[in-house]
Structure 1
Amino acid sequence: MALTLPTVPARLARPWPWPRAWPRPALPAAGALLRRPSWLAAATVLLVCVPTGEKDVTAAVHVTAADLASLALVALTALDLLRGRAQGLGRAACLVFAGVVCAAAAATVTSIDPATSLTGFVRLVQIFVLVPASVICALRDRTDLRLVLGAFVLAALIEGGVGAEQYLTGTGASYTGQPIRAVGTFGALDIMAMSGVVSFGLLAALALALAARRGGWARRALFAAAAFLAFPLAVSFSRGSWIATAVGAVALLLRADARLALRSAVLALAAAVVLVGGLGAGGGGVTERLSSIGSVSGGNEDHSVSDRYDLWATARAIWADHPVSGAGPKSFQQLRDSHAPLRLSSGSDAADSTIGFEREPLLSPHNMYFLVLSEQGLVGMVAYGALFLALLLGCLRRAGDAAPAAIGLLGWVLVDFLYADIGGTTTVLTSVILGVAAWWALPSAEARG
């Protein structure tokens, strides 16, 4: 008797479809991260909140978690460029960045101490060239920009919350003999860091709110965040940050809507009167701090202001001896004592519950423009001036929903450079902001198209 085999359905008789017909597994999180490197730019911003502990401010190099994230961003961007996955820089961006590199290199080669200046050269290239260029390549669309701006807001809320708690509970840094100065997680030795982070977050929140849908919950939440951040900024008692934030906010609002800027100014003035005058929210300290900006003589002079002016005079004296290429990166601290006026203090006072009382040495002129002039000379001033002017004019010229954020944050940096320079934990945030501004101001030909 013959054996009859069962009939095999045609759909089963076909060759086994593995693996082509099977659905491909989704890319892991690491793969998604590689496809959107703006996450690393956002991580750079957020990682500045990681406490670094009290550090030796005289050390040549400080590497933080945010610095490591920025270097990872640079490495990933370089890899994407080699593989053709990222858009390159435009001609204008290449020119201004190359000018900064050449100026820093010339100052390093002709430095009074080339070995010490070499570490300064690396830092300058990181902050003013490599990280900004990487941010330009990482910001591929408006989603990337919102991601980075959102990181600024989140970092500001973290630091602002800590700073507000320090003021209200009297656990901050010393100010007029009382532990009420808000410094966030940065400590008394990095006294201006929190105010910078909060300022960036306030401006980013305003920019995102103006771009959000009218009447939506996101718009209301972002305006509320900006309003909250005004309080820790006030009790940071940082005059330079106050002025820079005011200028940045005005520029941002004018770029977005002139009528809105006028209404916001009226509301801000009314809120200041109520909070400071009516409720006394840090009013005495804030009023005293504002009035001290011009107090450089007389019995009630503010030594922090007079010291700053003396440091500027010291930088000018150093430049007079090294007019073309400067004395070299990181040379100001070596030449300070031989060029400073006799009345310049040996350091500024710093105190909190962690470090006790310390004298922090004055190692820079607390003015970025004078720092460049003294350490990189006229060559450096031309190079950095070209960079800043190109960014400013580009942000003013281009219109669009990203323009308010770019002009507001850039305006903050350029004004703050009148009262401060690079240095400290949050320096890397300056490079991210320059990258955001350059992405908008100096797009490549493909981006314009």
Structure 2
Amino acid sequence: MTVTVTQAPPPAALPAVPPRRWWPVLPPVAIVLLLAAPGSGGLGGGGVGGPGVLTPADLASGALVLFCLLRLVRTGARPLTWAAVAVFGLPVLAVAVAAVTAADPGAALPGAVRYLQVFVLVPAAVLLLLRDAADVRAVAAALIALALVQGAIGVHQYVTATGASYRGENIRAVGTFGPTGVMGMATVVSYGLLAAAALALWPPKGAPRWLRPAAAAAAAALVVPLVLSFSRGAWIATGAALLALLLLAGVRAALAVLTALTALAVVLVGGFGVGSALIGERLGSITQVTAAPDRSVNDRYTLWAAAAGMWRDRPLTGVGLKGFPDHRDGHATIGLSAGSDTAGAGHAFHKQPLLSPHNMYLLILSEQGLIGLTAFATSWGALLARGHHRLRRAVRARDCGALAVAFALWQSVDFLYADIGGPSTVLTGVVLGLAAWWALSPSYDGRGVDGSDPYGTYRTRPLGDSRAVPGGATAA
């Protein structure tokens, strides 16, 4: 009897995984890291209504947009979907209408460029360049690193009394942004804190064990410079976004983190007396409107009233881009001060003019009317609502979805107390791009394959193409 042995065919070889290419994500990472440079305070000064602030990060944002355009021309890949066109197209139309209807369209042009840079070009470029969750985490890591560097500088400024002037003492933590950009460090630290909190609450699958405690420690450490920034708007926005993250993570996690933060606050303020009197005074001034408010609160509400008056004069289109400074005195009361006193952090005393209402919604309403506010509010609301909807359904990369939603919420709340202008403005475009990637990218919605997409399965479809995306990803 002859036994025939049949050799089994060799298993099909898996396709070789090509090495990951990091160069597509380098431009947004470069924007973030350049804000750690000693000259990150910018060239020039003023807010959105004044002379433009030109920083190395602003120059890098221009290179980012150019790089994205060249990549699109060369490859013809990743055009925007209809949803993304709608979200970014609304601000474009609003800015175009405001520029055309302005009393001096030529003078309104710089403002139009700034709006398009921050709210359209940079976010759209970031959306198109990010390929998957690994790219988002690279940008988030850069934000955390930048926050730790700027926060450490800020704490040193408070301890050594070399910061910006506050209540007659040079103790306000401002990092490298200087006394004319006091919101810069607070903004950077807030972004880094939220990114670290998202990683601590939802560590990526397969992440090393040390990542969660390291991210939690980074988030806790960043609370200190945030407090020492004495920025009320950043405190409120960060508190709201962090509370939302904790509630998304579950009630038990929320209670544990809130308990730890309360203990940290007791140790810092009660045990070591870190700015206890000044911090308490600053917190109390948030609601101090009629009962002897401090000058900054009085100026803020006076500017808000002036913005509302401009809108009532021209409710549909506003007074025009860059028109707030010219119309301010005609609508403000005599209680408005001549400017904000700035000094310290290596700078001499300077009177900084109040050229904006320090409220993004009122700035848009006064300069662009109901048309502009409706367009921008709809765009930002769509990012927040769509991002939250995807996060609730996501089973993978929840850390990316959480930080995207947290950034969108933080920006929405912070715009109640601040507007664009200053050296950290370009970061607004980057974080809105992260939020747009999670909310609008048709290639990844948190339910597809996690990882670095080694086989190129994530590809954005052309406009109107409803075919299924290979690799398990679903349409947006």
How high is the TM-score relative to the length of structure 1? 0.89
Partner of 2:44: 55
Partner of 2:457: none
Amino acid at match of 1:40: P
Matches of 2:349 and 2:319, distance apart in 1: 33
Partner of 1:305: 297
The answer as to whether partners of 2:46 and 2:52 remain within 8 angstroms in 1 is: no
Note the alpha carbon deviations across 1:43-63, whole angstroms, 9 max, x for none.
Answer: 111112222467342753332
Deviation of the 1:166 alpha carbon: 0.3
The answer as to whether partners of 1:37 and 1:76 remain within 8 angstroms in 2 is: no
Deviation of the 1:143 alpha carbon: 0.8
The answer as to whether partners of 1:54 and 1:187 remain within 8 angstroms in 2 is: no
The CA RMSD over aligned residues, in Å, is 1.9
The answer as to whether partners of 2:25 and 2:130 remain within 8 angstroms in 1 is: yes
The answer as to whether partners of 1:172 and 1:179 remain within 8 angstroms in 2 is: yes
Matches of 1:377 and 1:323, distance apart in 2: 5
Matches of 1:284 and 1:139, distance apart in 2: 45
Matches of 2:172 and 2:99, distance apart in 1: 38
Change (3 A) 1:233 1:146: same
Change (3 A) 1:193 1:365: same
Alignment match of 2:377 (pick from 385, 395, 402): 385
The answer as to whether partners of 1:256 and 1:404 remain within 8 angstroms in 2 is: no
Describe how 1:3-402 pairs up with structure 2 within 5 A: 32=21, 36-50=23-37, 51=39, 52=41, 55-57=44-46, 60-84=51-75, 86-212=77-203, 216-299=209-292, 301-352=293-344, 354-399=346-391, 400=394, 401=398, 402=400
The answer as to whether partners of 1:86 and 1:137 remain within 8 angstroms in 2 is: no
Number of positions where the alignment pairs a residue of Structure 1 with one of Structure 2: 418
Matches of 2:128 and 2:256, distance apart in 1: 37
After TM superposition, the structure 1 stretch with the greater mean CA deviation from structure 2, 403-412 or 215-224, is: 215-224
Amino acid at match of 1:55: G
The answer as to whether partners of 1:255 and 1:403 remain within 8 angstroms in 2 is: no
Note the alpha carbon deviations across 1:76-132, whole angstroms, 9 max, x for none.
Answer: 111222233642222111012111111101100110221111010011111110110
Amino acid at match of 1:180: I
The answer as to whether partners of 2:45 and 2:422 remain within 8 angstroms in 1 is: no
Deviation of the 1:397 alpha carbon: 0.4
Deviation of the 1:215 alpha carbon: 7.7
Matches of 1:388 and 1:366, distance apart in 2: 18
After TM superposition, the structure 1 stretch with the greater mean CA deviation from structure 2, 57-66 or 273-282, is: 57-66
Amino acid at match of 1:77: C
How high is the TM-score relative to the length of structure 2? 0.84
The answer as to whether partners of 1:252 and 1:408 remain within 8 angstroms in 2 is: yes
User: 5+ residue gaps in structure 2?
Assistant: 1-17, 443-460, 462-468
The answer as to whether partners of 1:172 and 1:352 remain within 8 angstroms in 2 is: yes
After TM superposition, the structure 1 stretch with the greater mean CA deviation from structure 2, 434-443 or 273-282, is: 273-282
> In percent, how many aligned pairs have the same letter?
49
Matches of 2:441 and 2:251, distance apart in 1: 26
Change (3 A) 1:85 1:150: farther
Matches of 1:325 and 1:157, distance apart in 2: 42
The answer as to whether partners of 1:326 and 1:375 remain within 8 angstroms in 2 is: yes
The answer as to whether partners of 1:44 and 1:70 remain within 8 angstroms in 2 is: yes
Matches of 1:40 and 1:72, distance apart in 2: 8
The answer as to whether partners of 2:44 and 2:51 remain within 8 angstroms in 1 is: no
Deviation of the 1:353 alpha carbon: 5.0
Note the alpha carbon deviations across 1:384-436, whole angstroms, 9 max, x for none.
Answer: 01101101111110123122111111111110000000000000111111111
Amino acid at match of 1:167: Y
SS at match of 1:358: strand
Amino acid at match of 2:362: F
After TM superposition, the structure 1 stretch with the greater mean CA deviation from structure 2, 199-208 or 47-56, is: 47-56
Note the alpha carbon deviations across 1:214-248, whole angstroms, 9 max, x for none.
Answer: 88112211111111111111111111111111111
SS at match of 2:343: strand
User: 5+ residue gaps in structure 1?
Assistant: 1-25
Change (3 A) 1:255 1:88: farther
The answer as to whether partners of 1:149 and 1:208 remain within 8 angstroms in 2 is: no
Note the alpha carbon deviations across 1:359-390, whole angstroms, 9 max, x for none.
Answer: 11000000000000011111101110110110
Matches of 1:100 and 1:320, distance apart in 2: 22
The answer as to whether partners of 2:165 and 2:342 remain within 8 angstroms in 1 is: yes
Partner of 1:448: 474
Partner of 2:464: none
Deviation of the 1:276 alpha carbon: 1.1
Partner of 1:4: none
Matches of 2:100 and 2:42, distance apart in 1: 34
